[in-house]
Structure 1
Amino acid sequence: MNEEMPDEFWQGVEQFNTGEYYACHDTLEALWIEATEPDKTFYQGILQIAVAFYHLGNKNLRGAVILLGEGSNRLRRYPSEYGGIDVDELLIQSAALLKALQLTEPEKIAALNLGQDEGLPLPRIIRVNNENT
């Protein structure tokens, strides 16, 4: 497992959790470009989920579903807790949103209030209590 995550990672987590998905993507992409495995794929999974929410905010259901699935598939390779976050919880929340999106008719996506509709709760990244974080 990795050591302590860089400050930029935690900045990206904060951006993710406050709905600044495009900024989160940019922050984590900068880390991803320079990273080595296993952190490289970890960053990519989170930034793909962030971009999925960005697409969803722009009513791009197809792009949101594709990237939400791809990002989740990348994160499934990691243990329950990795990099100081609760990976399992992020995956559970993302799977629930993906299922809800798949059941939503595309023409109804425009009427949804991202993050405010109870049927489409947006996942948050949960930090785990760890002596390294």
Structure 2
Amino acid sequence: MQEEMPIEFWEGIEQFNNQEFYACHDTLEALWMEAGEPEKKFYQGILQIAVALYHLGNHNWRGAVILLGEGINRLSYYQPTYAGIAVEELLGESAKLLSALQQAGPERVAEFVPLLTIPRAPQA
């Protein structure tokens, strides 16, 4: 996508990268509600990963696992990069976290710290 993303999008990405997942959700949800495709599913995928990390920070293993899986699935259509975001890299890190959570199980959820960041795509 060559089109410029709204400033609120980048604010949401910054909030995500600062582990402000609830604020990221609020910022991106406002964009998602007004967006058309293909941006709507893109915003939703990032939102789902943000909410998954919010759940993880609250030791909600089930919520984290479900939303990570849904976010990964939704963003898979936007690889390798989209809207200035290195989607493939984000998905790789998200998939590693999902796998580790699934292997650890709910009884070990407190061992995880939600430290994912959304990487920028290299400039062309």
Cα distance in 1 for residues equivalent to 2:3 and 2:100: 35
Alignment-derived partner of residue 55 in structure 1 = 55
Aligned residues: 124
Please report the TM-score for the alignment, with normalisation by the length of structure 1.
0.88
* Offset, 1:32: 0.1
Indicate the RMSD between aligned Cα atoms, in angstroms.
Answer: 1.3
Please report the TM-score for the alignment, with normalisation by the length of structure 2.
0.94
Cα distance in 2 for residues equivalent to 1:65 and 1:90: 16
Matched, 1:30 2:11: no
Q: What code does the residue aligned with 1:129 have?
A: P
Secondary structure class of the residue paired with 2:37: coil
Question: Which of 102, 120, 124 is the aligned partner of 1:127?
Answer: 120
Q: What code does the residue aligned with 1:37 have?
A: E
CA contact (8 A) 2:47 2:71 kept: yes
Cα distance in 2 for residues equivalent to 1:105 and 1:63: 12
Alignment-derived partner of residue 105 in structure 2 = 105
* Offset, 1:108: 1.8
Q: What code does the residue aligned with 1:126 have?
A: P
Alignment-derived partner of residue 118 in structure 1 = none
Deviation readout 1:22-62 (Å, 9 max, x if unpaired): 00011000000000000000000000000000000111000
Alignment-derived partner of residue 88 in structure 2 = 88
Q: What code does the residue aligned with 1:130 have?
A: Q
* Offset, 1:105: 2.9
CA contact (8 A) 1:2 1:39 kept: no
Q: What code does the residue aligned with 1:114 have?
A: V
Secondary structure class of the residue paired with 1:73: helix
Percent sequence identity over aligned pairs:
65
Cα distance in 2 for residues equivalent to 1:101 and 1:76: 20
Q: What code does the residue aligned with 2:91 have?
A: L
Unmatched runs of 5 consecutive residues or more in structure 2: none
Cα distance in 2 for residues equivalent to 1:78 and 1:113: 27
Query: Residues 105 and 79 of structure 1: is their aligned pair in 2 closer, same or farther, counting only changes over 3 Å?
Result: closer
Matched, 1:73 2:66: no
Q: What code does the residue aligned with 2:120 have?
A: R
